[in-house]
Structures are given as C-alpha cells and as structure tokens.
Amino acid sequence: MKIAFIGDIVGRPGRKIISHHLSAIKDEYGIDCVIANGENASHGFGLTVKNANELFKYGIDVITGGNHTWDKKKDILVLLEDNRVLRPANYPEGVSGSGVGIYDINGTKLAVINLMGLYTMPQCENPFNIAISIVEDLLAQGIKHIFCDFHAEVTAEKRVLFMILKNKISAMCGTHTHVGTDDLQIIDGTFYLTDIGLTGCCDNVIGMESTVPVKKALTGLGGHFKIPNDCKSILQMAIIDIDDMGLAKDGLKIKLYSDGQRVISQAYKAK
C-alpha cells in the first residue's frame, strides 16, 4: 500500500496547487490513499463544506484537523458526520466527531489517527496516553496499517510520540508549524517526519501575507492575518510505501513549487 500525506493546506493557494498537481503525482507514484491536514484550507482558518468537497474532488481521501478545526463551526459540524473528516482524538469527551477513521484501501484496512499536542494548544487530553489506547485497540482488531497526524507546536512532543509508537504503527507525520522539516526516516518499520510543512504560499510568513506579522513583531500590535492574492506556492507531500504487515518499507518527501521546481528527499532507513 502506498499512502501520501499533504501538509497544512493554507487557503486558496494551497487548494490551487493541489488541483494542478495531485492527480499526476498519484499516477506517477501509484498512490492508493491521500490524507491531508485541512484545518487551514478555508481562508487560512478552518474548513468549509464547499472547500472540503473541492479537496475530495482533487483526489484527497481523508482530511485531518487541529487547533483551527472549529473556526468554521457550522461547516465542521456537518463535515464531522462524514468519516472522511477527522478532528483530534484527544479533544475532551462529548465533542462532536472522531479522531480515528478506518478505511478500506483495495481490500486492506487503513486506520488514520488525528492527535493534537499540549503546548500552546486548546484544551485537550493527554495525547500520549490516548495514542497508546487507540493503537492497542486497532492492533487488537487486526488492523496493522496505521497512520498518525500529530498536530503539535513542539518538536520534542512529536519525537516523544514517535518513540512511543514506533514498531506499532506504519507512519507518523507532524503538522501545525507550517515549517517543513527533512528529517524523514524509517525506524523499526515506522516512517517519521517531524513536520510535513504547509501547502500554500511560501514567500511570506507561514502562508500568510507578511505585513501583519511583521508589524506585530516590531510594535506588539496584532491584526487579522490574510492570505496573499498572488504568491509563489509550494506543495509538500510525504509518500510512504507500506508492506502487507503494516511496516514502512520506503518513504520520500516531495516539495513541488509553483514555478515547476521539484525537490525530493529520501527517508533514512535505520539498519
């Protein structure tokens, strides 16, 4: 099974570059399932029903969330009735939706887990203990192909969760910072990447027009972040090849820019 994961989609520029390139990349690499973090896909904050359907049309199969999941509250309450849209599993009990989805991929079950970190994040439960419980339950069901999107600010939190889950899940990718890392590796059959990085504008500040964040840095006075109408954009995607036992065999990361440049990083495989 080959799965792909696309980083935080930020507004129209992110959706646009996906529309231009995702189908060809799926064909080129023989991808069976595409997962994407979409909590910034609508104007940079939240996800609307319209934009979710747009992303599904482009070839995305599962959409994960994070701290901006509830920014378009009416829309997300509708979307969370669809098992293709997840929110972090460690939101407190009673919150709508699910943080775990199980999907049939060519006759094999693939589980997708969405979790959120602790530092600087909204109120949520301990993601580490919840992750252990979820994975144990999935393995007891005989589900071996498991992917986790860990939406967290702190790199150490992501690394700690990887240390807990390696050799138990197929892959884990971090999201949230919008700043991509290239520390992709496979250890004990689990693919890891600290942060996949944003998909959207890449010549400003984390996908947003730079005027407001620069002003805030200089004066302490904030404002409303906006997505530029015109920018250089990037599509960031991890592709993971998983064997029949649910172990990652190979992995890479693609950075595809709107000017046509493509950078590919190969996962380090520990012996």
Structure tokens at 181: 């890392």
- Helix (H) / strand (E) element for 19: namely helix 11-29
Closest CA to 41 of 52, 30, 31: 52
Cα Rg, the chain, nearest whole Å? 17
Q: Is 230 exposed, middle or buried (0-12, 13-18, 19+ CB in 10 A)?
A: exposed
CA distances from 130 to 95, 115, 227 (A): 15, 9, 35
- Choose, from 21, 68, 151, 176, the residue flagged as catalytic: 68
Strand pairing class (233-242; 248-257): antiparallel
Q: Quote the Cα angle for 265-43-32, to 5°.
A: 40
User: 9, 37 in Cβ contact below 8 A?
Assistant: yes
Cα(202)–Cα(232) distance, rounded to whole angstroms?
6
Closest CA to 240 of 59, 30, 58: 30
Has 178 been annotated as catalytic?
A: no
Residues 6+ apart with CB under 8 A from 213: 205, 225
User: 152, 174 in Cβ contact below 8 A?
Assistant: yes
Active site amino acids: 68
